[in-house]
Amino acid sequence: MSEFTELNSAPHVALLPGSGMGHLNPFLRLAVSLTNQRVQVSFITTHPIVSKAESKALACLFSANPKITCKEFHLVPFDKSSADSEDPFYLQCAVIRRSSHLLSPLLSSFSPPLSALITDMNLASTVIPVTEALHLPNYILFTSSAQMLSLFVSFPVMVSSKVGGDSDIEGDILTIPGLQEIPKTWIPPFLLNMNKFFRNYFIENGKKTLQSKGILVNTFESLELQTLKALNDGKVVWNLPPVFAIGPFMPYQSSPTLTWLDDQPSKSVVYVCFGSRSALSREQIKELAVGLTRCQCRFLWVVDDNTVNQESSVELDEVLGHEFQEKVKDKGLVVRDWISQEEILGHPAIGWFLSHCGWNSILEAVWHGVPILAWPQMSDQKMNADVVERSGIGMWEKSWGWGDEKTLVNSQEIGEELEKIMRNELIREQAKQMREEARRAVAGGGSSKNAILDLVEIWNSL
């Protein structure tokens, strides 16, 4: 069979990601994974794109994978003064929403016609009405944990059950049907503010997700079995579409790591990174610096005091001081430039990960068997940190709160928690075991591999 015939007999699936690297990366990896299953993949890119990091990642995808075609979705001009947020990624969601009338002709223009569209969870309420009108099956890619998915689909029911439908969640404990009770303090703060655009958008998307044909999650059974079972058994929401656990998504490209790591002993380095959107305050950065020196560990620290993943003109000396860098130069390395986290976590010298618990970061650590010290900063990260703790692959000091709170976590506490996880052999062994479970899940006969094959079979039958 020629390559042309093969492509035209294969299902044709388009992917429409949301904004921000945390949402884009899973779509990039899924695109490559589907291509490897002989699915014809088209990738829809919105223009303008929010950040340089996103532009670079997309360019890498298309250059390395010529079988993946690009389709541009040009957005209407938008006056951000009419929005109630300064966050460029939230604003992008609003722009896509206002451009939804342009999506129907775009989706209709694909040749061969699309078998299905995979949409970011943050775009469900915007896109599903369009695909329903086109009779195009729409699947949601949920870019966080299955545990966070349980909140995403049950939260609209929680608020609608209150008097008036919009009152705040009462009490200190929330119950997600079919699962454990969770403290109200774990809920993303924006969900507790009734006047926030993104709270209402979250509710709308959660409701609309129930009208999708299926929900794809970057997780696997051994990591979140109880939650996945509750979701698919209808215990969380009775009319939920099937949930496909198809993770962990594997790295699709390699980049050179820092040569500094090559000179460090095996499993000796703490990797410290809080993602592309989390930024510690200057005061907290200084406390963390002292905490790292207190425990006398080797460390690689990616410092970011910006809230958006853009280049900064601020020098490291201004943030940490020249004396600190001189003091730790034999055991620590502090960088501001972007580095490939996949490659860092896979380096033999990395022994632990101090993380904000973005879901991509957790899955990358799981893939490489690196224990996690959780320090959630925002959004879904407390829900994800609970997965880390309950699965036994890391620790979470819950008293540290959210990263945007005014109370500082002092250097002594940071040093003590680092020492605890570095001495904990049980966590190290569990992380190693979960690494093997993750690799089995995506191998032939594994649960995640079978879930992807089930999806391809469904698309082939359409």
State the Cα–Cα distance between residues 460 and 74, nearest whole angstrom: 30
Supply φ then ψ for residue 349, to 5 degrees. -75, -20
> Which residue of the set 12, 87, 120, 356 is catalytic?
120
Peptide bond into 48 cis (omega under 30): yes
DSSP string, 117-144: EEEEGGGHHHHHHHHHHHT--EEEEE-S
**Burial class (CB within 10 angstroms; exposed 0-12, middle 13-18, buried 19+) of 173:** exposed
> Which residue of the set 23, 347, 356, 368 is catalytic?
23
Closest by CA to 215, choosing from 293, 278, 152, 302, is 152
User: Are 225 and 231 a contacting pair, CB within 8 Å?
Assistant: no
State the Cα–Cα distance between residues 233 and 242, nearest whole angstrom: 9
Ramachandran quadrant class, 400 (left: phi over 0; alpha: psi -120 to 50; beta: rest): alpha
What token pair was written down for 255?
Answer: 């980049």
Closest by CA to 402, choosing from 219, 236, 154, 183, is 183
What token pair was written down for 397?
Answer: 């000091």
Measured from the Cβ of residue 412, the count of other Cβ atoms closer than 10 Å reads 12
| Residue entry with tokens 């454990």 | 180
Ramachandran quadrant class, 188 (left: phi over 0; alpha: psi -120 to 50; beta: rest): beta
State the Cα–Cα distance between residues 294 and 422, nearest whole angstrom: 13
Cα-to-chain-centroid distance, residue 388: 14
Please confirm, yes or no, whether 23 is among the known catalytic residues.
yes
Please confirm, yes or no, whether 47 is among the known catalytic residues.
no
Measured from the Cβ of residue 458, the count of other Cβ atoms closer than 10 Å reads 18
Active site residues: 23, 120
